[in-house]
Amino acid sequence: MLIFIFSMVGYTMAQHRTAEGEVNIVQDPRVDLLLERHVEANAAFDGLTGYRIQIYFDSGSNARNRANNERRKFMNLFPATKAYVMFDAPNFKVRVGNFRTRLEAERWLREIQKHFDMAYVVPSKIELPTL
């Protein structure tokens, strides 16, 4: 019985020998598939999740021109802040700023509402900050 116990301990303690410095990884092949999907999803997402302030929203025959005029007006008042004209069929929108937090956007909103009284904060993809 003693010989049997020692042989079982020796058998369970034995490992497959690999060359020195070599690591053998055993994993489910689905892990690679999940990692691949994660990388693809991140590559498709351009920008960060954040907030912008929408100062204009309209549709109609002359909405594009009015949106560009509102953007120009904003850029004259706030030249350091970026403004974007977006088309989300059938509406043209003008959104401004790249704010990482809602609190930061709300602070700017007070100043912007002095000139654009219908402005409000919206969640949006924002540009990466410049380094």
Return per-residue pLDDT of the chain as tens, 131 residues: 667 666 655 555 445 565 677 877 788 889 889 888 888 877 766 678 899 999 999 998 899 999 999 999 999 999 999 999 999 888 999 999 999 999 999 999 999 999 999 999 999 988 876 66
Q: What string of H, E and C letters represents the secondary structure of 19-70?
A: CCCCCCCCCCHHHHHHHHHHHHHHHHCCCEEEEEEEEEEEECCCHHHHHHHH
Helix/strand/coil percent split, the chain, to 5: 40, 25, 35
d(CA 29, CA 66): 55
DSSP 8-state assignment for residue 106: H
Cα separation, 71 vs 1, in Å, equals 89
The whole-angstrom separation of Cα 98 and Cα 53 is 9
Quick check: helix, strand or coil at residue 93?
strand
> Two tokens at 124?
């949006």
Q: What is the model's pLDDT at position 8?
A: 58
Residue 5 confidence (pLDDT): 66
Domain boundaries, the chain: 48-126
| Closest to 99 in 3D by CA, of 112, 114, 116 | 112
Give the fold, CATH level 3, of 48-126.
Alpha-Beta Plaits (3.30.70)
Nearest to 94 by CA among 112, 80, 110: 112
